Amino acid sequence: MKKFDEYQGKKVLVMGFGISGINAAHLLVKLGANVTANDKVTPKNNDIVDDLEADGIKVITGDNPISLANEGFDVVVKNPGIPYDNPLVAAFVKQGTPIITEAELGWQIFDGHLVSVTGSNGKTTTTTLTQLMIAENAKHQVKYAGNIGISFSKIAEDLGPDDTLVTELSSFQLLGAPTIHPHIAIITNIFSNHLDYHKTRENYINAKLNITRNQTKDDFLVINWDRDEWQKIAQRSQATIVPFSRLNKSHEGSYVEDGMIYWRGQEVMPTKDIRLIGPQNVENALAAIAAAKLSGVTNDAIKKVLTTFSGVRHRLQYVMEYQERLFYNDSKSTDIEATEVALQGFDRPVILLAGGLDRGYTFERLVPYFKKHVKAMIVFGECKDKMKDAGNQAGVPVVESENAITAVPEAWKLSEPGDVILLSPANASWDQFPSFEVRGDKFIEAVEELTGKKEQ
């Protein structure tokens, strides 16, 4: 952690009691700030409030009182999920108070080598693979943090100038990170996500591009080269562009040709040796390889990681095999594109469990994938009728269920030896579960109850 005096004597409001918010509040005290912490929900765990107050932090819960906008705060550190049209946030925007996220705070105190990953899909897997690859050859600490569920600023506190941090950054985090400057930035892909928050696709793209906004020609932007639009987006960066591609050969980066992965024209390994399934994980591997090679990682280290790493929890996570059925937990697939790529990863018949929060869109785009890969569907949640319509268009049998838990025994009844039972909802979880992690965990528990086995 580097010396950072900008907050000495400053009055700072932290909005949101998530992991990142709590860590940010305690860190700001160490940095000399006068801190107020606010959450519109009163925590059930009193220890959270007690710990904050014991550190000299003023705590306000149960509301986001608009009166806080009149208390002269110098900076607001906002939970990324709180929208900018929140009345209190909007008041701070109107009066010109700087609003940052915890990712910006983490960057401000970080004193090492930063690699940052963003994108619509594949962020967590790419972040994890990149960290594992760099760590294989490293003489110093290599950690990961950010949207992966670990506070950026908390990890940054413990790292020195020779250490490396690989961060997963969401569009929400990047909106409040105006000075962040990774030496290596990765954009896995850009689809049309979170438009309820960003309002327009261009706003969403601009938020993603904050990852490269401060880069120079001495830095690197590793970006997916498989769509013309993404190639054009790359032109908006000042960094040295390093493409990765599953479909287009480019000697400037990593690519696939005849089943072999190459880095700048040199063989690395066959794609068939990657333990993770699906074309999307070939893309994630290509992105991680590019970042690893730019960091001086050897091919042997890359091969070791890609032949042994079996996946991130909730992202096409293999759960178990039981009576010749394979169970997969892909609860992190909270949009249509993620479910598309998940289905393409299987060459067996799929019993698909899908549904969740209704964000207003329909699922016709999934119909060709249902026709090709799906044997039957179990649908649930607010959007189950829309999901059912898509299944009917594909000619796939559809059964309604209450949620991802009750769907498991229903899927079992429809399955036969050789089938895959896949939770890949294509929707957020918030209509029935507090997070996709909880949804995935509950799915696994239901599988364990059905089979009498523990996840493998």
* Interatomic CA distance for residues 360 and 358, integer angstroms: 6
Could you write out the DSSP letters of every residue in 293-321?
HHTT--HHHHHHHHHH----TTSSEEEEE
Residue 61 known to bind ligand: no
* Interatomic CA distance for residues 395 and 186, integer angstroms: 39
Asked if 133 contacts 297 with a C-beta cutoff of 8 angstroms, the reply is yes
Half-sphere exposure of 421 toward its Cβ, with a 13 Å CA cutoff? 29
Burial of 423 (0-12, 13-18, 19+ CB in 10 A): buried
Asked if 208 contacts 119 with a C-beta cutoff of 8 angstroms, the reply is yes
* Interatomic CA distance for residues 80 and 20, integer angstroms: 9
Residue 119 known to bind ligand: yes
CA proximity to 243, closest of 196, 188, 164: 188
Residue 122 known to bind ligand: yes
Q: Write out the E strands in 140-270.
A: 142-146, 164-168, 184-187, 220-224, 240-245, 254-257, 260-263, 266-270
Residue 121 known to bind ligand: yes
Binding residues: 119-125
Binding residues for ATP: 119-125
